[in-house]
Chain A
Amino acid sequence: MISFILNNEIIKTDLPTGYVLLDYIRKNQRLTGTKEGCREGDCGACTVLIGELVDDEVVYKTVNSCLFPLGDVHLKHVVTIEGLNLETINYLQEQFVYQGGTQCGFCTPGFIVSSMGYLISCKNYNLNDALIYIGGNICRCTGYSGIRRALTNTINFLNEKLKGFNSGKNNSIKNLVELNFLPDYFITIPQKLRELKEHQIEEKVNYQKFVSGGTDLYVQRWEELVDKNVYLLSTKNDLKGIYVNNDEIFIGGANTISDVEESQVIKQYLPELSESLKYFGSKQIRNRATVAGNIVNASPIADLVNMLLVLDAKLYLESEQNKREIYLREFFKGYKLLDKSDDEIIKAISFKIPKENYLFNFEKISRRTYLDIASVNSSFFGYIENNFVEEIHISAGGVAPIPLYLKTTSSFLKNKIITKDLIAEAIEIGMNEISPISDARGSAEYKELLLRQLILAHFEKFFPELVSIDLVLKEV
């Protein structure tokens, strides 16, 4: 039995946990404000808010309901556009109307929900952060100028109004209710969720499949999952937690990409990782996709994996019988082939805390900068003191059947004095480690050239004087 609150209504349903939330909202509940635009998390028209009780407050996140297993709404608050509406339109909606932020209207509810997700879950409003929240929403009438105007005005309005309001931890929702941005039933949700939790009955369910975040599984194979009870790794708290132990940073397998992005530990020890993750999917996807899922999916262009490869991350695998550790660089055996049995899950990963003088850079080129899959991505991590390379590690995604660590290139660079020639030589070695294929993300020839450029870009970032025009334009 899945029990949750949908807008202001308590719902109990016996549908399988693998059923799709979007279908439940549109078909079972006939709430048609949530739209189906692509069913692969690439348009945001189906965006809803998922509220989860954390300590005494409800934390809301935006997700794509088309990729969200129904089972994961258990004991949570699901908010659709209908659940955000007041008697009259709120200031944000009004601005969308007055600034021409809506044309055909099909994408609009998704934009409103994403924007409200921003207003509910953030403080110190500014346009750049707001754009990150709606980066996962596509408007094909391409009325983005109107949307920008609407958001800008709303942010200015709220920042002005909120002066003098208590901006304490739990006050966002209260303030937004008071300012007529949210219906007042939101105030009652924490209590209702607590009651749901107290009255839940543990049941024995036969699970037929593991699902982590499901952001790729529900794109590729949703038809197989809708009638099954899937085991939701994303709900397991023992698979979560980002912390430091000895000289290592640990990240739980079920932690989402957003968890990593927002983690204070990561921001303290490796802020560039957190920064780079804004190019991973969209806000909605990052709120859902997990660390373990990104690894196990084994996509050759997985962004997080690309970064973890240069950090020499270690995986902690667990099954009912067994526990073991393996380095990420050893984990990928071939296209979508892993050193992992079906019953093993990734409990956590870890990597060494970078020393103070580390250099880290992530490069990703895709057809579109945001909400896109890389044509080629590459990470760079190392220590270089007075032009002496202690170590440099470079990874390359999209140029091999697996997420690739450029082993030969990296070991070649170790203990060398960095010069123009060294960079040129490293590139040549790198080129011999790859075997790209042509596909929708680019021709093989392009991917080869692109990796060359990205390696140059890494060095250009730290040694601009070495990466001269003549080096860049020099024929290999």
Chain B
Amino acid sequence: MINFDSIKHVRGESQFVDDYIPYEKILYGYVFYSPIAHGLIKKLDYSEALQIPGVKYVFTYKDIPGENQVGGIIQDEELFAEHKVEFVGHPIALVVAEDFLTAKKAAKKIKVEFEELEPVFDPRVAYEKGSLIMPPRVFSLGDVNEAWSKCDYIIEGRVDSGAQEHLYLETQGSIAYPIENDSIKIYSSTQNPTHTQRIAARVLGLPMNKIEVDVLRLGGGFGGKEDQATHWAVMAALAAKKLKTAVKIILPRQEDMRLTGKRHPYSSDFKIGLDKNGKILAYEVTFYQNAGASADLSPAILERTLFHTTNTYYIPNVKATAISCKTNLLSNTAFRGFGGPQAMFVIESALFKASKVTGIDYHELQKINLLKEGDEFPYGQRAKNCRAQICYNTLEKIYNLPEVKKQINQYNQTSRFFKKAYSIMPICFGISFTSTFLNQASALVHVYTDGSVGISTAAVEMGQGVNQKLIEIASKVLSISKSRIKIETTNTTRVANTSPTAASKAADLNGFAVMEACEIIMGRLKKFAAQLLNVKEDNVQLIDESVYVNNQKTELRWNELIQKAYLSRISLSAQAHHATPDVYFDREKSKGEPFAYHVYGTALIEVTVDCLRGTYKIDSVKVVHDLGESLHEIIDLGQIEGGIVQGIGWMTMEEILFNEKGKLITDALSTYKVPDIFFAPEKIEVHFLENAPNPFGPFKSKAVGEPPFMYGIGAYFAILKAMLEFNPNMELNFKAPMTNERVLMSLYSKIREKVHQTIN
């Protein structure tokens, strides 16, 4: 079983936006952006830029025929700043020239005068000042106030998690060009073609049917191209319309990092109450989300944080408050996990701290509180087909946890500076868009007269293998060879009003739509074959490209059947629409059944920390993961392995830093480091939970994209445990990422002060 796309990948034949030449004459755009974090634009002068040979035009908000507004959930984001800039990197103008370097050089000639305003970077400060994206949200279950008195232990603390750069290897980019009827065609590297189409229409003042968005594939997205691919596509469209030729905007890496949002940093306060046996009775938490300068997807991300407040534990009394704080930083956006990881890091920190206070082992506390069938989540849904405990127990058993502990203990007894530790990270992740209306998709399936099949859906291929999964599904339903099936580009003229490829949900939603469209065609073909063979329709089957009657193979093959059906004027195309049944969520009450199902799993992470140098190595990650019945094992394995390493990256080496003026310091791959092949654990073992069909997924499968990311959280606690082996008196702070710097500074907190005094 392979992914057909990968054959093109290994030959370098897969095309990405920057590889297209869809138009004879192409101009290039370069975005001019604010160098300051907060201020009023007093004067903008680009006359000098226009003088440079090769420069065609400089676009500002004044050139926008429609609305200067790109906000999705909340309309609070201008495409080009009009009078006020709100972060370093805020687009002000677009320079279009004959080539990229000319555009970039011209942009340097643009002069702006600002009246600087006081910026805010810290979400807690923003909260105090009342700078919010929207009113706080609260989820609650039971009554925490009543529960505290019943607790034997009450532990409080603060937890901080950092931003994370998507660093999709293909930077943001798009090409737009004019076509007849006053229309624009856009090739964009976007996870959300319909959003791009809608916003382009809004900004250009055109109806949506005059904007066509086409997506072939993405060189990685991870959420970073869900909302934030839009700006560059819209700018290119604006320029193409005005200049009547193709305009390409590919963000150079540094601009991509400076101009686009990251995973939201969170600062949180928790209070957790347990009885003497380690059972959690109450949990109260406040999340301060650093949204950056505009809403973008922050409200939806904030909501998912609340959904995952208790991770995979049952807590009878919960009060979770989430506050989206507006600051003068890049507008943070979707990133694999979508606010879930931030919430899970807080509850795990709370449990870890509780273990130190109660003396009950951290992993015992996890086990005592794991979800059981029928337990209620803080949002009212109950755990159904709950696999929290079976995953945890299977993990302990198949990876021989007692032996792991024994070996680690032995090692630590003899090693002075190198210390080993393990941690366990159980996860539970809800599958569905929590905005219920997005849980819909449609598919358009054509069978051509030669028997080949073309499929269009809303799904965007970005390395997650969704196209191959759709091929698997279509091939199963139509019972034809996979080699006959091609997945077309994602195009708004073929499939309209699409939901973004996000929430791990693309294979589920589009898979069902493909399944239903193929079933329509199969129905027609069976009926036609029955007529042709003069038998009852119920007795006809199509198996492996042959028609069977009463389980007997006939002479009639797929190709011939299709030919004949065409000549008999049978429609060989079908469109189907799928909407996830029974999901709903009442935002007023914060209760409902938002998820079609949950994904469960548990990971065992082992690390070695060099306590002399303050560095660490992730030795292994071993997982028991609930996939349902896998649609494609090598793709699912890749998603799990990749998600784990990306999650570990977020928790360990990946650190976003701004200077005191709000300028991004880590704006290149030389300063923002992501896992490489040496850092990624040498050993990642994945055990797919057996006999675990999912009644709510296509062919009993489960979504796979996001959940494994959260296994990475275990790396943080494994490192922390190893550090405590070396220095048990170390002060406990829950601050991620656990960079080398943080390891060393925590291990030697007293000494570093002395060293510093010696020098200064």
Contact = CB atoms under 8 A, between A and B. Distances in A.
A407 interface: no
Interface string A141-181: 11111111000000000000000000000000000000000
Contacts of A129: none
Contacts of B638: 100, 103, 141, 143, 145-146
B373 interface: no
Interface size class of B (residues with CB under 8 A): 35 or more
Given A40-B669, A131-B677, A434-B759, A99 B218 contact: no
B114 interface: no
A219 B634 CA distance: 37
B73 interface: no
B614 A140 contact: no
B745 A40 contact: no
Given A148-B677, A368-B673, A363 B613 contact: yes
A97 B680 contact: no
Contact of B670 (A42, A108, A142, A448): A42
B567 interface: no
Interface string A107-128: 1110010000000000000000
B641 A143 contact: yes
A370 B670 contact: no
A99 B2 CA distance: 9
A375 B169 contact: no
A37 B219 CA distance: 10
Given A145-B680, A367-B739, A42 B6 contact: no
Contacts of B756: 445, 448-449
A215 B217 CA distance: 31
B674 A82 contact: no
Contacts of B15: 32
B11 interface: yes
Nearest to B615: A365
Interface in A1-48: 30, 32-40, 42-43, 45
Interface in B1-59: 2-3, 5-16, 18-19, 21
A367 B616 CA distance: 11
A440 B671 contact: yes
Interface string A363-374: 101111111110
Contacts of B668: 38, 40, 42
Contacts of B125: none
Nearest to B2: A97
Contact of A431 (B104, B464, B758): B758
Contacts of B740: 365-367, 375
Interface residues of A, number: 90
A43 B634 contact: no
A373 B727 CA distance: 28
Contacts, number: 267
A93 interface: yes
Contacts of B463: 103-105, 141
Interface string B154-176: 00000000000011111100000
B676 A138 contact: yes
Contacts of B556: none
A201 interface: no
Contacts of B675: 142, 144, 368
Nearest to B749: A449
A378 to B, nearest CB: 11
Contacts of A421: none
B465 interface: yes
A130 to B, nearest CB: 10
A446 B741 contact: yes
A38 B671 contact: no
Contacts of A43: 169, 669
A422 interface: no
B623 to A, nearest CB: 12
A426 B416 CA distance: 22
Interface string B589-620: 00000000000000000000000111100000
A40, A141, A146, A372: most-surrounded residue (chain B CB, <10 A): A141
B637 interface: yes
Interface in A63-98: 80-82, 85, 89, 93-94, 96-98
Nearest to B165: A140
Nearest to A142: B645
Interface stretch (B294-302, B395-403, B475-483, B649-657): B649-657
A262 to B, nearest CB: 20
Interface in A415-473: 428, 431-432, 434-435, 439-443, 445-446, 448-450, 452-454, 456-457, 460, 469, 472-473
A138 B674 CA distance: 8
A222 to B, nearest CB: 10
Contact of B665 (A368, A372, A439): A439
Nearest to B221: A104
B366 interface: no
Given A37-B253, A100-B637, A457-B613, A105 B416 contact: no
Interface in A209-268: 219, 223, 226
B465 A103 contact: yes
B759 A431 contact: yes
Name A's interface SS: loop
B752 interface: yes
A439 B668 CA distance: 14
B635 to A, nearest CB: 7
Contacts of B741: 375, 442-443, 446
A147 B642 CA distance: 11
A460 B680 contact: no
Contact of B219 (A105, A134, A223, A226): A105
A85 B666 CA distance: 37
A111 B748 CA distance: 40
Contacts of B745: 445-446, 449
A81 B222 CA distance: 26
Interface in A325-381: 363, 365-373, 375
Interface in B648-698: 649, 653, 655, 657, 665-666, 668-671, 673-680, 682, 684
B612 A372 contact: no
A105 B5 contact: yes
Given A35-B169, A106-B219, A367-B653, A40 B670 contact: yes
Contacts of A105: 5-6, 8-9, 14, 217, 219, 463
A460 B612 contact: yes
B191 to A, nearest CB: 12
B2 A98 contact: yes
28 contacts: A32-B15, A33-B11, A33-B12, A35-B170, A37-B170, A38-B668, A43-B669, A82-B12, A96-B9, A97-B2, A103-B463, A108-B9, A109-B11, A138-B669, A140-B169, A142-B644, A142-B675, A148-B677, A223-B105, A368-B675, A428-B758, A432-B759, A440-B665, A442-B741, A446-B744, A456-B612, A457-B613, A475-B754
* 10 A-B pairs closest in CB distance: A33-B12, A104-B463, A106-B219, A105-B9, A81-B12, A42-B669, A103-B463, A142-B645, A109-B12, A93-B10
Interface of B: 2-3, 5-16, 18-19, 21, 101, 104-105, 166-171, 217-220, 222, 252-253, 416-417, 462-465, 612-615, 634-635, 637-638, 641-646, 649, 653, 655, 657, 665-666, 668-671, 673-680, 682, 684, 727, 739-741, 744-745, 748, 750-752, 754-756, 758-759
Interface of A: 30, 32-40, 42-43, 45, 80-82, 85, 89, 93-94, 96-100, 102-109, 112, 131, 134-135, 137-148, 219, 223, 226, 363, 365-373, 375, 428, 431-432, 434-435, 439-443, 445-446, 448-450, 452-454, 456-457, 460, 469, 472-476
Given A100-B3, A104-B217, A140-B222, 14 more contacts: A34-B12, A39-B252, A82-B12, A96-B6, A100-B634, A102-B6, A109-B11, A131-B678, A135-B676, A142-B645, A145-B637, A147-B677, A367-B739, A476-B755
